[in-house]
Amino acid sequence: MKVLQGIGASPGIAIGRLFFFMGAIHPVDRQLIEDPPAEIERFEVARQASIDSLHQIYERALEEIGPKDSAIFQIHAMLLDDLDYVASVTQIIQEEHVNAEYAVYQTAMRLFDVFSSIDDDYMRQRGADVLDISKRLLRTLTGAKEQNLDEVNGQVIIAADDLMPSETIRLDQSKALAFVTREGSRHSHTAILARTMGIPAVVGLEDAFDCLADRVEVIVDGMTGEVCVEPDAETLERYIARRGQYLAACKRLAKLRDQPSITKDGMRVEITANVGSIGDVEIAVKNGAEGIGLFRSEGLYLGRNEVPTEGEQFVIYREALERMPGKRVIIRTLDLGADKRAPCLGLLREDNPAMGSRAIRYCLSHPALFCTQLRALLRASVYGHLALLIPMVTSLEEVHRTKALIEEIKRDLDNEGIPYANNYEFGVMIETPAAAMISDRLAQEVDFFSVGTNDLTQYTLATDRTNRSLSALYSPRHPAVLGLVRMAVENGRRHGVWTGVCGESATDPDLIPVFLSMGVAELSVAPPAILDVREKVRALDLTKARLDGRTKGF
C-alpha cells in the first residue's frame, strides 16, 4: 500500500477503482500542406464548431450548476474568438505551410508557457483554459470523440493529469465517485465544480500521480488530500468506518435544518449563506439558511461579452428574493477588479489591482453602469426583504454619493410609475482598515455592517491572500484584525447598527465564539457549511467561551 499526498479540494471519502481519463493535450505531428488558405478555412470551420459546442455545454451547465460556475464555458467560447489566438494559428499555417492541428498545438503550448510563468494564480488558470479550448479544437479537427464513461460498468474514480472544466461537466456524475488529478489547486475551476457537484476530489498530486495505474483500487479522502493506493484490509476497514462517520455526521447535521441558531446561554444568531447564483440560493434553502448574507452580484457579469441589462438583473434579484420569503437577502453591489475580471467591462490591467479601481470605486467612476444595477435592485425590492451592501468602502463620501444616486433613481422610478419598497436596508462592508477606523461615523449613515474578514486580513496585515509563500502570515486571528472587527461591532451597536461576518473565518470554530462574544449578530458562510456552523453555535456557552478566549489570546 502507498499513501499519496495531494490537496483536498472537495470533501468526502470515496473507495473504488481508477479510470484513467486521457484528456491531456499530446504533441501533434508537423505535416506540410500545399494550400494554406484552404487549411485556414478548415481551421475556421473547426473553430466555429467548437464555439457552438461550448455554447451547448454552457446551456446544460446553466441548468445543472447555475450561472456563476457555468460562466467558464462562455469564457472559453470567447477565448476561441481571441484575436491573438486566432492570428497566431493563422500565421503559423500561412508562413510555415503546416497543418492546422500543428499550428493549434504550437499556439497552445506557447501561450500556456507564457501564462504559467506568471506568478499569479488567476493568470496561471488562463493557461489551463487555453489548453482546454485547444484540446477541443484538436478533437474537432481530427474527428476524435470525447472520452466519456458510457462504456464503464459501475462507478469509478476518475484519474487525469488535469480535468478541464468542459470535461468535468460532461462526465456522467452517476458513475464518478471522485476525482484525482496530477495538476490543479483548491481554487481551480475543476475543484470549484467538484464542490458544486458534491464529488470528493484530490488535486495537485504532482509526481506522486505516477504511482497510480488504471483499474487499481484506491481510497480518496477529499478532506485530508490523501490517496491510498491498493489499501490493505486494515486501512480499508478504517476508511469504511470513517466514511460511515462522515455520512452519519451529514445525516445528523441535516436534522438541524429547521432548528434555531441559539447558544446554550440564549444568544440568537442568524446563520446565512454566501451565494453567487440562483442555483446557490437553492442549495442554501436546502441547508436551512436563515437568509442570504452575501449575494455576489458580480457573477452576473463574469464570462459575458455584454453587460447584463437592467431587465436581466431585475429577474435574477427578484428570483433570489422570492426564494427567501420573509428572510433578509443581502445583495452586494458589483465587486469587480483585483482577481475578478469581466471581459464585458474592459477592465484595465493594474500593477497593484487589489488596491486599484475595484468595487465601489469602479462603480462610482462609471455611474451609468452603477445606476443600471441600483435600478434593478430597487425594482426587485418589492418582492422580499432586500438589503443593499456596498463593498470596499473607505470614506463617507462613497456612502453619500451612493445614497444620492439611489435617491435620484427613486425620483425617476416615481415619475415612471414603477414601484419599489422603502423598507430595504442599506449597509457597507468593513473590509478595509479605513472603514473600521471610521465605523463610528459610518454607523450614522447605514443600517448594518458586514465584515469581510478575507480582505480585512489582507489589507490589515499587508499580506496578499493569494500568495502561497505568505500563507503563514495571513491570519484572521491576528490581534490587529480582531481589534478592528471589535471596533466596528461596538461602534455599530452604539448607533443601533447590527454587524455580520461574511468572510471565511465565520466558519472557524475558534473564532465563532469570539465573534459572538463581541456582539456579531450574523454569520454568513458557504451553503454546505451552514449546518456545521449551526451545530457549533448551539453547543456554545458564551460565558465559558469568553473565559477560554482570554486564555487563547483572543
Residues identified as active-site:
189, 502
The dihedral region occupied by 426, where left means phi > 0, alpha psi between -120 and 50, and beta the remainder, is beta
Residues 6+ away with beta carbon under 8 Å from 153? none
Is position 431 annotated in a ligand binding site?
yes
Kindly state the helix (H) or strand (E) to which residue 536 belongs, with its residue range: helix 530-538
Is position 238 annotated in a ligand binding site?
no
First to last CA, the chain: 43
- φ, ψ for residue 406 (rounded to 5)? -60, -45
Is position 319 annotated in a ligand binding site?
no
Is position 243 annotated in a ligand binding site?
no
The dihedral region occupied by 10, where left means phi > 0, alpha psi between -120 and 50, and beta the remainder, is beta
The dihedral region occupied by 198, where left means phi > 0, alpha psi between -120 and 50, and beta the remainder, is left
Q: Going by DSSP bridges, is the β-strand pair 448-451/425-430 parallel, antiparallel, or unpaired?
A: parallel
Is position 490 annotated in a ligand binding site?
no
Is position 455 annotated in a ligand binding site?
yes
| Bridge partners for 10 per DSSP | 201
CB 470 within 8 A of CB 429: no
CB 171 within 8 A of CB 199: no
Beta strands in 161-269 (DSSP E): 176-181, 201-203, 217-221, 226-229
CA distance to 295, 390, 394, 403, 413, per residue, from 399 (Å): 20, 8, 9, 6, 21
Annotated binding site for phosphoenolpyruvate: 296, 332, 454-455, 465
Annotated binding site: 296, 332, 431, 454-455, 465
Annotated binding site for Mg(2+): 431, 455
